[in-house]
Amino acid sequence: MVQNMLSSSRLREFKQLREAAMDKLVERLRAEAEASHGAVWVLKNARFAVFCILLFMTFGVDMDEETVDRIDQMMKLVLITLDPRIDDYLPILSPFFYKQRKNALDVRQKQIDTLVPFIEKRRAFLRDPGSDPKAASFSYLDTIFDMKIENRNAALSHPEIVTLCSEFINGGTDTTATAIEWAIARLIENPTIQSRLYEEIRATVGQTRKVDEKDVEAMPYLQAFTKELLRKHPPTYFSLTHAVTEPTRLGGYDILPGLNVELYLPGISEDPGKWADPEKFDPDRFFTGREDADITGTTSVKMIPFGAGRRICPGLGMATVHVNLMIARMVQEFEWSSYPEGSKVDFGEKLEFTVVMKKALRAKVSPRV
């Protein structure tokens, strides 16, 4: 996945796909606003756009909206069903959780039955490239079909391929869509920040041309805004689990090899010993150079929204491309304000697969001239 799918050169091959998804996002927002007196659900629309991109990157086959929605509902069901249960940790209690286990197995079978036809459709395309003119020239599946399991010298089974594809899609969908919802909430709360962002977009691309990925690289205020967004709203509370290879001491505790180490991300990115006024949402801390941080944790650990080290999130590059482009297009096309008008944004949060807004954000959009 890292070498063959998420490298910068490979990501560039899907540039047109992302642009088409952004156009579709704008159309959906405009249509929903026209039908609802200007009101739109932010997370739902952002999630659909990202999900479409990742589905096509994974399977390389074109899908209509009904099919996309059907797969999306199935993926959500999988994530809900995967909530940990006590018998995961104490197997002796498993007889008391028979119904829950049976339900989990039924959902798993539904997941397999839903995705296998698209796996086989891609396999058929690779045998006959002229069979589907809308298919991608490359997909994540292409990198999986040739893999072999060393200890059995065999190709991956359908369930194994389904699991790998689901990880790729789920890992990049909710994290990005959640970031977009928090971003819009912050822009509504801070109209001055929204105005500065829009002025930077206009200064970069003018009044008629759509923002593209190259433009985003020339927008320092947007980059600062996204960095502050990831500082205040990392996708999850904890980084991917780490462990040590030899006995060590951390924070006054003895850590033995093999023990799980969970890093609490907000405890780092909101540490008053590392940040000036950490509670304030302030892109200027990065824009003016007053403060800085390496989000990969390579030079210093002041914020690690994607984790750090060898276990850093492999989708970091893809996520930042998606988040920057979506914010730029959404601000270029619409002015965002609270709904109902004059209401305050509720920044309460809850943990689902990612840290989401406790009350889903519904915002008012006004198309810009």
Q: Are 315 and 253 in contact (CB under 8 A)?
A: no
Amino acid at 304: I
Structural domain includes residue 92: yes
Residue 302, both tokens: 């002041």
Return d(Cα 368, Cα 331) in angstroms, integer.
9
Nearest to 287 by CA among 222, 218, 213: 222
Return d(Cα 129, Cα 137) in angstroms, integer.
8
Residue 134's pLDDT is what? Answer: 87
**25 CB neighbour count, 10 Å cutoff:** 21
How many independent structural domains does the chain possess?
1
Residue 208's pLDDT is what? Answer: 87
Structural domain includes residue 205: yes
Q: Are 165 and 119 in contact (CB under 8 A)?
A: yes
pLDDT in tens, 66-90: 999 999 999 989 988 877 778 888 8
Q: Is the pLDDT of residue 233 over 90?
A: yes
Structural domain includes residue 151: yes
Q: Which domain holds residue 100?
A: 8-231+312-367
Return d(Cα 283, Cα 224) in angstroms, integer.
5
Residue 190, both tokens: 């801070």
Q: Is the pLDDT of residue 151 over 80?
A: no
Average pLDDT over residues 20-45: 96
Structural domain includes residue 152: yes
Return d(Cα 32, Cα 365) in angstroms, integer.
10
Average pLDDT over residues 265-273: 94
The residue assigned the tokens 């006995």 is 247
Structural domain includes residue 61: yes
Structural domain includes residue 165: yes
Strands 355-357 and 362-367: what pairing? Answer: unpaired
- To the question of whether residue 165 is assigned a binding role by annotation, the answer is no
In terms of Cβ atoms closer than 10 Å to its own Cβ (0-12, 13-18, 19+), residue 10 is: middle
Structural domain includes residue 104: yes
CATH number at residue 146: 1.10.630.10
Q: Is the pLDDT of residue 369 over 80?
A: no
Residue 142's pLDDT is what? Answer: 93
Structural domain includes residue 242: no
Residue 36, both tokens: 């609802």
Q: Are 39 and 33 in contact (CB under 8 A)?
A: yes
Q: Are 238 and 267 in contact (CB under 8 A)?
A: no
Please state the pTM of the whole predicted model.
0.91
Q: How far is CA 338 from CA 28, 34, 223, 305, in A?
A: 19, 16, 24, 27
Residue 300's pLDDT is what? Answer: 83
**Phi, psi of 244, rounded to the nearest 5 degrees:** -105, 155
Nearest to 227 by CA among 189, 282, 280, 297: 282
Return d(Cα 157, Cα 154) in angstroms, integer.
9
